Structure formats: C-alpha cells, structure tokens
Amino acid sequence: MADKTNTDPQRMEKIVSLCKRRGFIFQAGELYGGLNGCWDYGPLGAELKRNLKDYWWRSTVQERDDVVGMDGAILTMQQVLVASGHVGGFSDPMSECPLTKARLRADQIPAADAGIEYTFLGAKDAVSGKMTDKTITILVANEKQEKFRSAEKIAMKFYAEIFGKNAKPESLENGWTEQPGPRENGLYNPDNGVLMSEPRMFSLMFQTKMGANADDNDPSAVAYLRPETAQSIFVQYKNVLDSSRVKLPFGIAQVGKSFRNEINPRNYTFRSREFEQMEIEYFCHPKDGMRLTDEWLETRLKFYEEIGIPRTKLHILDVPDGERAFYSQKTYDIEYEFPFGVQELEGVAYRTDYDLGVHQKGSGRPLEYFDEETKEKFLPHVVEPSAGCDRTILALICEAFDEEVLTDDKGKDDVRTVMRFTSRMAPIKVGIFPLLKKNEDQVRIAKEIQKKLQPWMNVFYDDSGAVGRRYRRQDEVGTPYCVTIDFETLGESGEELKNTVTLRHRDSMEQERIAIDALLPWLLERVR
C-alpha cells in the first residue's frame, strides 16, 4: 500500500517546466497574467489529448456493441440542473480569511497545531484618530518565539487595511484576550494563523444568461455551463433508446467540457475550473447493478494499462458508507500516484435509478423501460464510470517523465530526459531526419517518407543540428521512433542496404535497418 502523503515537489516542478518549454501545456491568458484554473494545451498537448480521447472513444464506443455515443450541449437548461439537484446542492463549504480575503475550501483547511489564540478587540488610527472595534483572532503555534508580538504584527496589518493605505493604527485600543487554541471547530488560515470566517456554501456552477431577454432581470433567461457531461445523457436517454434500437443493458458515452467554479484550483491542471470529462452512463436492470459496477471497474483498469498507466500505480478506494453520494450503493475511486500525492482519476459509481427518477419527476415524462421478453416495466439503474480527461493527461505526463543517466565512452555522465509515452499515446509517432540537410537525395527521400506517413499519423521532420541532438529533442517529447535517411539509404554501402533507413527506438536507443516500403505497416501495427 502506497503512502498517500508521499510527494515529490521537485519532480513536479521539472514536469511543469518541460510541459511549458516543449509546448504541452500553457496557462490560459498567460500574456495578461493568467486566468486561474484554466489551461491551454499547446501543439504537443493537443496531440496527446486527441490520442487519449480517440482511444477512449474507440475502445468504449466503437469496439463495443453495447455502448453508443452522444455529444450534448454545454449550455444547460436550469430545469435540468434543478431536477438533478445541482442548483440546490452542488456547492462546497467556503471560508474567508478576514486579513488576506483568501477564500479556501473549508473541508480542505488542515487542522491547526496547538498554540495560543489571541483575539484583538479594536484599534485606533494614529493619523485620523478614528477607532474601530472590529476583532481579529490569530492562533500562534506553541513552538513560535515571541508569540504575542507575532500575533500583534498580523493584527496591525488587519487594522491598517481598515484605516486606509497610509494610515497607521497606533494602538490596539480595546485590548486583547488570550486562550489556549485551537478552539473547537476553529478553521485557521494555514499561511498566517488568522481565524477564518464561518464556512458558507458556495455554488460551483457557472451561471449565464441567454436569449434576447438576457439583459433584463428575467429569471427564465438563466442557463448554466454544465458541471458534468452526465446530465445531458440522462435527459436524452429516452431519445437514444427510441432512435438507436438499443436494449438493456446499454451505455451512452460522451466526451466533453465541464465547468466548475472551484474555490481553490490547484496541483497544476489537476483541479481546474474548465476541464474535460469522459463519461459513460450504463443503463441496466436493477438486479445487475452491483455486478456491472465491478465489471466496469476492471474494464477501466485495463484501459489505463493500455494507455501506459500501470496497475501498480493505481489505487482503488472502495468509498465507505456515509462518504458516498446518498443515492449511490457502491462507488470506487480509481486513484493514481501523482508526484503531489495519491489522487482521484476516475469514479465508478452505481447510481441506482436516482438520475432517471429525478428527471422523470422533474419533466413529468415517463422514462421507464419496457422489457419485451419479460413484459416488465421499470426504471433502469445506472452504473457510471466517469473519468477526467485532463487528469488522465496529467497522469500520462507524470508517468512518462524520466531522467536517465547515461555514461559515455570517456566515463562522463549525461542526463537524458525522456518521456516514455506508449506509442499509442505519443504526440509524435516518428521523427524523420535526413542525415545531412545539404544532401539533396537524402532530403528528397526524407520528404517522400514524411508525405507517405502523414495521412496515417503525426510525424515530425527535422534536419537541423547533429543527428544525436535531434534524437534527444524527440526523446524529450516522447517520440517512440526516429528514422534517419543516410548514405546507406542511397546505396553507397552496397545494394542490399539501398532504400532502407535507420530506425531508432526511443527507450532502448537501439538502431536497426528497415526497408522504406515496410515502414508504414510496421508503424501502424505499433502506434494505434
């Protein structure tokens, strides 16, 4: 069992830096200071994401007889999210620091260490003579020297904010109290020890207004950016059933954007405000729900292995009673060992008939299923494997990142940075290099190979610098194969090597020769 608190911030820093340097991920709006919780995928990140979504779609929808796909609208009717319970209840407890105004998720604030809690009861401004009786409470850990002075310094900052930028609070006029802390249920800002406000519920949904009445205060103009892709699947369940000749059990799959106004986006792209989900709602007879939940868990674990996330790095949390959503009879969280700790990648939840039940009630339209064979009429139950696309991308990147120490002939060490993506996920499948860019024949053949491979896969042509450096540049972005067109290709070392190229493997760095004509089928077998 992995230690869930085990982290490696240095490794994470290197990964974040590589992602920017090589064009995987940029902060959204970076030119203007950055939009918190939003990320743009650069040229290589976009390829990686496309590979993931394409493979998920292929293995989930196209290669199964019992799952169909859909692509729902992002803008969502408020009635849908009222019925689902999101309008009333999709919120997190939020608490505010009275000094810095930082808003933190109350359930994520770490418990404070024992110390002395000072409450300052007011202050007077030296410049204007104004007074305030606003209070501020600060917890100073027992280990800290000069506890009162350090609390007083923080309190002074708080009162300076009240009196204005240039004003100076002269004294903490109304005195202070002190007592051992932390107080029961007290939440303290981990950065400064200030007692946070009582938590209040904060809606995670982005509300917008649409239509010609959007400018008026017309409540019917309210719509939401969807907080999950699942709801459009439930709402369209009957249309899909009636139009697709599917029979229970069957699933509807969707990949797409979701939006949550997370209070504290963090851990790089892990918790974002705009992100993509890959969700399956699998409709079944109630008697099959538990069994199918276990089957889907296995299917999803196999998927992660197929994209290069080994089982040994995944942890399955069987969410205990009392911690699951109230309607769920079983929920597994699939977690991955990120460098910032073991965290959730996907949930596989048995949601019973909750979703179809609330939409049947909310819409007043029947959503029951009629089984032709048994003549039974019932509301199907749902098993939901719900994966985060961006989180899986982050797991792929973290898993692929490697620094390998190589020792040359003279005993000198060198670090090779290599992204060990599976060929299936790698953003670039092949690097194509003419050995010498001034050799017209080598360049011509290299370009011919490029044109031949391009309709089938993403390739990269590079003719600049020494070939060893070109290999290293491709290693750093995870290109599994490179081909070099050299003098042997031209027949200069004999007829038997003519029209062959050097094929270099990223992981082993071994090289072999392969006929140009054999290249495409050889690669196709490996990169899909």
Binding site for ligand GAP (CB under 6 A): 228, 230, 260, 262, 271-272, 275, 277, 279, 344-347, 384, 386-388, 390-391
CB of 255 to ligand GAP, least distance (A): 12
**Closer to ligand GAP by Cβ: residue 327 or 378:** 327
Rounded to a whole number of angstroms, the minimum distance from the CB of residue 281 to ligand GAP is 8
Alpha-carbon gap, residue 99 to 109, rounded angstroms:
16
Cα angle 320, 324, 330; round to 5: 70
Cα angle 96, 98, 103; round to 5: 20
Find out whether 191 and 100 touch, Cβ atoms under 8 Å.
Answer: yes
Task: Give one DSSP letter per residue of 150-183, joined into a string.
Answer: HHHHHHHHHHHHHH-TT--EEE-TT-EEEEEEPP
Angle between helical axes of 389-400 and 9-21 (0-180°, round to 10): 100
Closest CA relative to residue 75, chosen from 207, 203, 204, 202: 207
Left if phi > 0, otherwise alpha if psi is -120 to 50, otherwise beta: which for 346? Answer: beta
Our CB check for ligand GAP shows the closer of 262 and 475 to be 262
**Best CA proximity match to 504, nearest among 417, 410, 418, 430:** 430
Task: Provide the minimum distance between the beta carbon of 338 and ligand GAP in the complex, in angstroms, as a whole number.
Answer: 12
Q: Burial letters for 153-165: b for 16+ Cβ neighbours within 10 Å, e otherwise?
A: ebbbebbbeebee
Q: CB nearer to ligand GAP: give 241 or 382.
A: 382
Contact 252, 234 (CB under 8 A): no
The pair of structure tokens assigned to 311 is: 């089982």
Secondary structure class of 295 (helix, strand, coil): helix
Kindly tell me which of 61 and 154 has the beta carbon lying closer to ligand GAP: 61
Smallest separation, CB 43 to ligand GAP (Å): 22
Nearer to ligand GAP, 22 or 260 (CB): 260
Min dist. Cβ of residue 366 to ligand GAP (A): 24
- Tell me how far, at minimum, the Cβ of 463 lies from ligand GAP, in Å: 39
Quick one: which of 397, 433, 342, 296 has its CA closest to 51? 397
Report which DSSP code applies to 271.
B
> With respect to ligand GAP, which residue has the nearer C-beta, 381 or 391?
391
Which residue's Cβ has the minimum distance to ligand GAP? Answer: 388
Which residues, 6 or more positions from 305, have their beta carbon under 8 angstroms from its beta carbon?
311
Output the smallest distance, CB 293 to ligand GAP, in A. Answer: 14
Cβ 390 to ligand GAP shortest distance, Å? 5
DSSP string, 85-109: THHHH-EEEEEE-TTT--EEEGGGS
Alpha helices in 378-496 (DSSP H): 389-400, 440-453, 467-477
Shortest separation between residue 441's beta carbon and ligand GAP, angstroms:
50
Q: Which is nearer to ligand GAP, 398 or 432 (CB)?
A: 398
Place of tokens 């290709």: 489
Cβ 387 to ligand GAP, closest distance in Å? 6
Task: Tell me the closest approach of the beta carbon of residue 269 to ligand GAP, in angstroms.
Answer: 7
Identity at 133, one-letter amino acid code:
D
CA distance 448 to 517: 11
**From CA 172, how far away is CA 488, in angstroms rounded?**
85
193: left (phi over 0), alpha (psi -120 to 50) or beta: left
499 backbone φψ class: left, alpha, beta (φ>0; ψ -120 to 50):
left
Q: Which is nearer to ligand GAP, 262 or 463 (CB)?
A: 262
CB 370 → ligand GAP: shortest distance, Å?
A: 27
DSSP run (H or E) holding 334: strand 330-338
Toward ligand GAP, which CB reaches closer, 49 or 429? Answer: 49
Minimum CB distance to ligand GAP smaller for 86 or for 429? 86
Nearer to ligand GAP, 159 or 275 (CB): 275
For ligand GAP, which is the closer residue by CB, 16 or 514? 16
Least distance from C-beta 384 to ligand GAP, angstroms? 6
Burial class, 120, CB count within 10 angstroms (exposed 0-12 / middle 13-18 / buried 19+): buried
- In the bound state with ligand GAP, the residue whose beta carbon lies nearer, of 347 and 478, is 347
